Amino acid sequence: MRNIISVFGRSPFVPLQMHMEKVVECVEQIPIIIEVYRQGDCEKVESIAEKISKLEHKADLIKHDIRNSLPRGLFMPVDRSKLLKILSLQDGIANRAEDAAVLLTFKQAKSFGGFDAAFDVFMENCLATFNLSRNIIELLDELLETGFGGMEANKVNELIDKVALKEHEADVSQKELVRLLLANEDRISYGDFFLWTRVIQQVSGIADRSDKLAATIRNTLESR
Amino acid sequence: MEMYLYVIIALAIIFGLYMAWGIGANDVANAMGTSVGSGALTLRRAVIIAAILEFSGAFLAGTHVSETVRKGIVDPAIFANDGLSFMLGMLSALLAAGVWLQIASWKGWPVSTTHSIVGSVVGFGAVYGGINAVHWDKVGQIAASWIISPLLSATISYFIFTFILRAIFYDARPLRSAKKIAPYLVFVVITMLSLTMAFKGLKNLKLDLSLPAAFGVASCVGLVAAIISVWLISKIKSEEDHGESEDKLTDPNVVKSLEKATKHLEKVHSTAPGHMKADISDTLDEVRRLRWESQRRYDFHTNSKEYQQVEKLFIYLQILSACFVAFAHGANDVANAIGPMSAVLSVAMAGGDSIAAKAPVPLWVLALGGIGIVVGLATWGWRVMETIGRKITHLTPTRGFSAEFGAATTIVIATKLGLPISTTHTLVGAVLGVGLARGIGAVNMGTIRDVVVSWVITIPAGAVLAIMFFYGLRMFF
């Protein structure tokens, strides 16, 4: 009877979702730090960036734990390499959030008319993409229940399509934002210009990775 | 009868009952543990049902395998002029298997009762009677069945679970198709179960049916059961409709909170350092138990997600498959205790010198084995069942049903062929089969190694111990 219990290894899904929770906490700080940044509160920006750093570190610990203890072999509902890919994409999202926050601590970059509004649209699209992907990770348990197929898989497939659509919207708004930035290159210093482009890159990285995350999960779904 | 024969008979009965007790105490939990865990059965009901089915399995269908252990492994004819040695050999085989199992469970090794008995009988036979005393072809068959049985059960449960996935979970309306398919599954399980009993099974009740006749009877029984299940399933629905008016035993929020608490504790458990882990796992077990109890009451009053309802429906099917496993287990494993015991008894009853190869296993001996298993279940087995039921959280009713069906079918086939196989390993194979069909979050590959190690270690260990006991006993008689 001991044999029967010992058949079951540690399911990787709970730690994976746990890692995602930490990533969510990191990303949730992004709109807050932007808000504070615009108010020019350097100390607060520093403290939030530090908070994101700590959260990212916690996520890293969970990541190492999963990598060290991921069960091997044939009898996994999801391919080991795919699980690791999902994990590293999640990790990448937390890293982008951290990098964006750190960039904001370097310099109080100036803004100009219309930039903040355009940035908000862009950021919202990126975060929406991320939130959709995160929902999919939360559905992993239910996917396991149905053997990665069926009704639940259809639901996830729809979600994945939505992620792709949202990611596209994020791309469009990013183009507009960059165009706006370039049109006003004379009005801001070179340093500010550089900083904004880097921040935009990092935030759009969140959307990119979320999209890839969704695509990876699509690969694990059973085709019928 | 001479005095020493009474002593030998007494010893045989004591050792045999001890083995039967051990089987009931440790292995019956395999069959019913999952049903207790999923909340389909209360512990008390599970124990009662298991007792009935284990006993009837042992009593009605235990003959074939017992015959194999009794005279299929070692040729009694070799001992034709030396009945005493044969009796002592079988006694020492029983004793060796018992002692070895005790050592193994103390050390926590994964060994099987079947393997130790077969190893012991082969050991004493080969050493005392010479290499030719052992039916190597039969032993070869048995050894092959140990490899084939987990593979077969894995294959069956793989296909059953894949079928459930495709037919039910992939359907747009899983509950509706589950309700449609359930009667067919009931038909298959009940037919198989009654076929096992009817075909050469009721010989002990003087009701020996040929295969076509047995098949006819079995499918009639299956059909009746399926029709009853259709009626029961339609009743389930109406219960759900009127569920609102009944008083709720548990506040839904309590269930939800408990669910959250479990999830959080699981997270804590998976990251906590070693010393904390043990404490947390105790708490986790307790919270899980609370959750099940509340969930069980709550479940019948809500319709949350559809496939959770499918699982609820499968709880009842799982009870059926668990009964099937209990029956098959009784039929196959009773031989481990009864085979050697009846070998001793048949020689002793005949006067102790001659070997009556023709005499079948007496009915009362089979009954004795069945009683031993039931007593083991009642005194110790329920405790094991409680623990195993609490720990198998990963096995939802659909998975449990698939695994149990695969295992029981395999065990029944082996029993009909008179092959003593390890029921535990067969069940492990069946669970792995469900894992292969993407049914389980993670499978511990270490168990496969354990199963193989059990084959490799137990047989020589049983053999060596049996030889030692044999020469030890010879000094007294």
Q: Could A75 and B440 be called an inter-chain contact, meaning their C-beta atoms sit closer than 8 Å?
A: yes
Q: Count of domains in chain B?
A: 1
**Cβ neighbours, 10 Å, residue A176:** 13
Query: Does residue B462 sit at the A interface (CB-CB below 8 Å)?
Result: no
Distance CA A167, CA B160 (A): 40
The mean per-residue pLDDT over the stretch B206-229 comes to: 85
In Å, how far from its chain's centre is CA B14?
A: 23
Which of B 301-340 lie inside 8 A of A, CB atoms? 305-307
Tell whether the torsion through CA atoms of B414, B416, B420 and B423 is positive or negative: positive
Given a cut of 90, whether residue B148 has pLDDT beyond it is: yes
Answer whether residue A3 is part of any domain: no
Residue B465 tokens read as: 């111990």
Give the ipTM: 0.81
Among B222-226, B230-234, B283-287, the range scoring the smallest mean pLDDT is: B283-287
Q: Count of domains in chain A?
A: 1
Residue A130 tokens read as: 């991320």
Answer whether residue A224 is part of any domain: no
Given a cut of 50, whether residue A102 has pLDDT beyond it is: yes
Which of B 356-415 lie inside 8 A of A, CB atoms? 384, 388, 391-392, 394, 396
Interface test with B, best of A5, A7, A158 (most B CBs within 10 A): A7
Distance CA A32, CA B290 (A): 40
pLDDT band at A2 (very low <50, low <70, confident <90, very high): low
Q: Are B304 and B241 within 8 A, CB to CB?
A: no
Answer whether residue A5 is part of any domain: no
Q: Residue A7: closest CA among chain B residues belongs to which residue?
A: B444
Answer whether residue B107 is part of any domain: yes
Answer whether residue A1 is part of any domain: no
Distance CA A88, CA A60 (A): 10
Q: Could B428 and A7 be called an inter-chain contact, meaning their C-beta atoms sit closer than 8 Å?
A: yes
Tell whether the torsion through CA atoms of B24, B410, B446 and A142 is positive or negative: negative
Percent of chain B's residues with pLDDT above 70 = 89
Query: Which CATH number characterizes residue A71's domain?
Result: 1.20.58.220
Task: Give the count of Cβ contacts less than 8 A between chain A and B.
Answer: 137
Q: pLDDT, tens digit, for every residue of A140-160?
A: 888 888 888 887 888 889 999
The residue segments making up the domain with residue B27 are: 3-246+301-396+417-426+444-474
For the entire predicted model, the pTM comes to 0.82
The mean per-residue pLDDT over the stretch B190-214 comes to: 76
Answer whether residue B91 is part of any domain: yes
Among A139-153, B134-148, B215-229, B248-262, the range scoring the smallest mean pLDDT is: B248-262
Distance CA B315, CA B101 (A): 33
Q: Residue A8: closest CA among chain B residues belongs to which residue?
A: B443
Q: Could A222 and B444 be called an inter-chain contact, meaning their C-beta atoms sit closer than 8 Å?
A: no
Answer whether residue A4 is part of any domain: no
Among A149-158, A174-183, B200-209, B462-471, the range scoring the smallest mean pLDDT is: B200-209
Distance CA B368, CA B59 (A): 9
Instruction: Pick B445's closest partner by Cβ from A73, A145, A222.
Output: A73
The alpha-carbon gap from B284 to the nearest alpha carbon of chain A, in Å, equals 15
Answer whether residue B228 is part of any domain: yes
Answer whether residue B392 is part of any domain: yes
The mean per-residue pLDDT over the stretch B76-87 comes to: 81
The alpha-carbon gap from A221 to the nearest alpha carbon of chain B, in Å, equals 11
Answer whether residue A168 is part of any domain: yes
Distance CA B231, CA B213 (A): 28
pLDDT band at B241 (very low <50, low <70, confident <90, very high): very low
Q: Which residues are A8's β-sheet partners?
A: B443
Please provide the distance, in angstroms rounded to a whole number, between the alpha carbons at the two ends of chain A: 36
Answer whether residue A86 is part of any domain: yes
Answer whether residue B262 is part of any domain: no
Distances (CA, A) of B366 to A145, B13, B20, B202, B229: 42, 12, 11, 13, 33
b/e burial code for range B227-257 (CB count within 10 A of at least 16 → b)? eebeeebeeeeeebeeeeeeeeebeeeebee
Q: Could B30 and A77 be called an inter-chain contact, meaning their C-beta atoms sit closer than 8 Å?
A: no
What pLDDT is recorded for position B252? 62
Query: Does residue A7 sit at the B interface (CB-CB below 8 Å)?
Result: yes
Answer whether residue B373 is part of any domain: yes
Q: What is the mean pLDDT of chain B?
A: 83
pLDDT band at B79 (very low <50, low <70, confident <90, very high): confident
The mean per-residue pLDDT over the stretch B94-121 comes to: 86
What pLDDT is recorded for position B207? 63
Helix-helix angle B306-349:B211-241, to 10 degrees: 140
Answer whether residue B255 is part of any domain: no
The residue segments making up the domain with residue A121 are: 10-219
